[in-house]
Structure formats: C-alpha cells, structure tokens
Homo-oligomer: A and B are copies of this chain.
Amino acid sequence: MDGVRIAVIGATGAVGQVFLKLLEERNFPASQIRLCASERSLGKRIIVNHTDLIIESPTKDLFNEVDIVFISATGDVSQELAPMAVDNGSLVIDDSSVFRMDPDVPLVVPEVNLGDIDLHRGIIAIPNCSTTPLVMVLKPLNDINPVKRVIVDTYQSVSGTGSVAVNELGAQSKVALDGGTAAAGVYPHPIAFNVIPHIESFLENTYTREEMKMLNESRKILHDPNLKVSATCVRVPVMVGHSESIHIEMEHDVNVSEMREILSESPGIRMLDEPSSNLYPTPLDAAGKDDVFVGRLRQDISGSNSVAMWVVCDNLRKGAALNAIQIAEAILEKNLI
C-alpha cells in the first residue's frame, strides 16, 4: 500500500467540502478516500483528485478498511461513530466538541501543542473554530511574557454553523434588499443585516457554550489550567471567516515591537498590519487562505501590561479542515499509525 486510507464523515458539509479540497491542494498521500454523509446524500457522487467517489454509509466494515477517519458532522454523529471507528482499527480526527475535554483525547493545534498527539488513544480532537486562532497568537506571546487574562469579542461567520446557514444568510439578504422582512430560521433572529450575540446554548453562568469553549479549550491546549479568558461570541452576516478582537493582559509590561517580531516568525501566522495603507485583516480577504492573519497590533492604551489586536482566519480552513489535515500529516510523519 502506497499512502494512507482515509474516510471523511460529513463529506458534503461546509467543512467536509473544504477538507476534500485540501486533500487535493496539499497532495495528501491518500491511497484511498471513502466518503460518508447523512442518508439523503447516499449514492451521491463527488469528484476528488479526478476520482469519482460515491457517498456511502459509515459501517464497521468501512472503518476496518481505512486508517484515518475525519469526522465533521454533528456531535451526535461523532458520539456514535468515533468509538465505532476506533474499535474497528481507525484513528479518528474529530471536529465535534464531544471529546475535546476528555482527558484521554488530545486536543491539538499542530503549531501550538503537536506533542500532545503522541498520547492519543484512537481519537484526536480539533478545537472549536474560534479557539484555534486565539491559541495560535497566545502561545508564542505567552512564551515571552506570561498571559494572565484574555478578553475576546468575536465576529463569527455563518459558515461556522454549516451550509444551511450560508444559504439562509443569502436568502434573508435577498428578502431584505427587496424591502421584505426576513423570518428567523437557523438562528433565533434573522442574521441578514444583523448581529446576534448568541452562539450555541446558554449555560447557567449565562455565558454560552461557545464562549466557555474558548476558555476551556484554550486552557487544555496551552496546558494552563489557570488561564483566564472571557469571551463574547457574536454571529455576524459574513459567509466565511471568523474575526476576533483580542485583548491580552500579561504579567510584565508589553513590548509591542518584540511581539510583532515573534508573531511574524510564528508558523501559520501572517501579520497584515499597516494601518497607514489601510492594511489589516478582513474576513473577505482571509476566506480561502490558510493563515491566521493578525493586524491592529497595539499597546493597549488602558494598561502598560496589555496589548490589543485583531485576528481573522478562515473558520473552515485553519478553524477546522486544515487543522485536521495538518494533524493527519503529522501522524504520518511521526509514524503514529
């Protein structure tokens, strides 16, 4: 066998589609690609790398016949299929939140904590799409000046919810532009020409699940159980690309030019920070690109030990599919399967 046999569960979804595109773009050494999706897509054909593939059901036999399974569907799907895949000899890279906080499951952003994959027991989780860009900037900065507290407000695109939300934003926008009133659908309120400070369900402390993910996942990835992160997660009428306004309080006074240099040299990060030329990241520019873009880096005017910045990344790429495929590449390189 030359290469690795993989299965993609959720192949027709927003993240699954990008995953397939990345397999091509990166020349991922797959000897076989199997695609699964929900029942209504069974039998549908998708061309990957000039090969005509048919959507099939995820079965024990299928998991026996592949090496790596990538799952990006619902939490319920991951809950059901990930253990089944492991039991049948596959390594699972999972995009759901189901296993992320499980102490036996590494939660990995390769640029940040690649070493954690060595400890895997069959499942490796990737973080929520809003956590990944955050930890990617926190890690290198924390190495030179310990991060004490983070305040982050997000501007998250609808593709984070899935293709159905992308379609809904388009449809609602058309209704509104024609002078009508769009009805809510996927979200509790219309998202066209609106912003909604509510992603995932509310918890008892009235933070949302999404906001608490940013705290808990960051702590796990950075191996810092005392890290403080207060997030407000907000949905905005953008198709692809999550933006974050990040405020970091550090142990010592900050040196912005040193931070700029360190971030510039960090893998996966691209500085786009020339305000005088109107250069800073926007989701429209970041969509379709692999990097986490950082701009508006500045000494926080409200504290000498604080820094503010604006971070944007393609939530389907580095926020999901790209992070997963990078983990798969690392697994092959480390001969972990």
A189-B282, A284-B190, A303-B228 given as contacts; is B308 within 8 A of A238 (CB)? no
For A289, the chain B residues whose CB sits under 8 A away are none
Q: How many copies does the complex hold?
A: 2
A232-B296, A302-B151 given as contacts; is B206 within 8 A of A275 (CB)? yes
Pairwise interchain contact A193-B301, C-beta atoms closer than 8 A: no
Pairwise interchain contact A188-B278, C-beta atoms closer than 8 A: yes
Q: Report the Cα distance A59→B198, complex, angstroms.
A: 51
For A193, the chain B residues whose CB sits under 8 A away are 169, 237-239, 284
28 residue pairs of the A-B complex, CB under 8 angstroms, read: A151-B151, A151-B247, A151-B302, A153-B232, A155-B155, A155-B195, A155-B236, A169-B193, A173-B173, A189-B278, A189-B282, A189-B285, A190-B284, A193-B237, A193-B239, A195-B236, A195-B238, A195-B282, A197-B281, A197-B296, A198-B278, A198-B280, A202-B275, A202-B276, A205-B299, A205-B301, A230-B306, A232-B308
A237 vs chain B, min Cβ distance (A)? 5
Pairwise interchain contact A310-B236, C-beta atoms closer than 8 A: no
Beta-carbon contacts under 8 Å, A278-304 to B: 278, 280-285, 295-303
Interface residues of A, CB < 8 Å — how many? Answer: 57
Beta-carbon contacts under 8 Å, A304-321 to B: 306, 308, 310
